[in-house]
Amino acid sequence: MTILKTPIKAVLFDLDDTLWPIVPVLERAENLLHDWLAAHAPAVAGRYSIEMLRSRRQALMQAEPRYRIDLWGLRHATLSEAFRQVGADVARVEQAMAVFSAARNAVTPFADVEPGLASLNTRLAVGSISNGFADLQAIGIAHHFRISIAAHSFGRAKPDPQIFHAACAALGIQPQQAVYVGDDLTLDVQGAQDAGLHGVWMNRFERSLPEQFRPDAICTTLEELERWLTDANGA
């Protein structure tokens, strides 16, 4: 184990698929939303399947780059378009989004997350940077994070260095004093490293590491992360 030249003062986290699995959550949320549409906006549900709405979101994201950093806005715009197309009351889109958002935040953190965050907070500043729109207050873990930055409110998304630098500035540290932990090798690991942070790959799902990436560490749990941080800090 190589001891880092600059001691780590902060650890920043990605959220989806790093602190909780997101695919089953999104699938359930989309199913619940479509059930709600069937009951309250049947013309929309009859015209648009889950797959059709997903395809329209992808097309809209390609056409309007702003939606790549505003996933809530992307879903809202897609639903609004669908409501208008069938002559449904667009005012009910807010209710539909509330149904989706509540289900989207009904995540179950991995078993190591809450004890791991609590332990890390005893000696490091802890924060989050996310391209998604998870609500940490609704999820119940906001108290573990000193700062949290979401791309849709910041105006830039990972892997843009500015969002990493903004998190470091908010904590009063230099990029080389921070570790960013995430599951996406391009957005999280390479993005953090390009911004001057240490990039740690949280490999929850036993994926293979492509040869072009060089994470500073690979972990599968927060316990492993904490052990690496202790060794890397020489403590």
pLDDT given at position 68? 87
Burial of 172 (0-12, 13-18, 19+ CB in 10 A): exposed
pLDDT given at position 235? 59
Task: Say what angle helices 71-86 and 93-104 make with each other, to 10 degrees.
Answer: 140
Each residue of 52-85: pLDDT tens digit? Answer: 999 999 999 999 989 989 999 999 999 999 999 9
Place of tokens 């001891």: 3
User: Do residue 80 and residue 146 come from a single domain?
Assistant: no
CB proximity list for 16: less than 8 A, separation 6 or greater? 22, 130, 132, 134, 183
Residue 60 sits in a domain whose CATH number is: 1.20.120.1600
User: Do residue 117 and residue 194 come from a single domain?
Assistant: yes
Structure tokens at 88: 């449904």
User: Do residue 116 and residue 70 come from a single domain?
Assistant: no
User: Do residue 134 and residue 223 come from a single domain?
Assistant: yes
Burial of 126 (0-12, 13-18, 19+ CB in 10 A): buried
Q: How far apart are CA 56 and CA 52, in angstroms?
A: 6
DSSP for 90-141, please give it. Answer: GGGHHHHHHHHHHHHT-----TTHHHHHHHHTTTSEEEEEESS---HHHHT-
pLDDT given at position 131? 95
Count of domains for the chain: 2
User: Do residue 93 and residue 204 come from a single domain?
Assistant: no
pLDDT at 5 over 80: no
pLDDT given at position 3? 63
Furthest-apart CA atoms within the chain: distance in Å = 64
Task: Indicate whether 221 belongs to any domain.
Answer: yes
Provide the domain limits for residue 161.
10-21+107-232
Choose one of 38, 72, 104: the last residue of a domain. Answer: 104
User: Do residue 94 and residue 136 come from a single domain?
Assistant: no
Task: Indicate whether 184 belongs to any domain.
Answer: yes
Task: Indicate whether 5 belongs to any domain.
Answer: no
pLDDT at 1 over 60: no
76: closest CA among 50, 100, 102? Answer: 100
pLDDT at 191 over 80: yes
User: Do residue 181 and residue 69 come from a single domain?
Assistant: no
CB 100 within 8 A of CB 32: yes
Q: What is the mean pLDDT of residues 4-23?
A: 94
Structure tokens at 159: 């892997």
User: Do residue 121 and residue 171 come from a single domain?
Assistant: yes
User: Do residue 118 and residue 201 come from a single domain?
Assistant: yes
CB proximity list for 204: less than 8 A, separation 6 or greater? 17, 18, 21, 110, 183, 220
Each residue of 80-117: pLDDT tens digit? Answer: 999 999 999 999 999 999 999 999 999 999 999 999 99
Q: How far apart are CA 30 and CA 130, in angstroms?
A: 21
pLDDT given at position 227? 95
pLDDT given at position 35? 98
62-76, 160-174, 193-207, 209-223, range with the lowest pLDDT: 62-76
pLDDT given at position 6? 81
Task: Indicate whether 3 belongs to any domain.
Answer: no
Phi, psi of 96 (to 5 degrees): -60, -45
pLDDT given at position 233? 84
Residue 131 sits in a domain whose CATH number is: 3.40.50.1000
Task: Indicate whether 2 belongs to any domain.
Answer: no
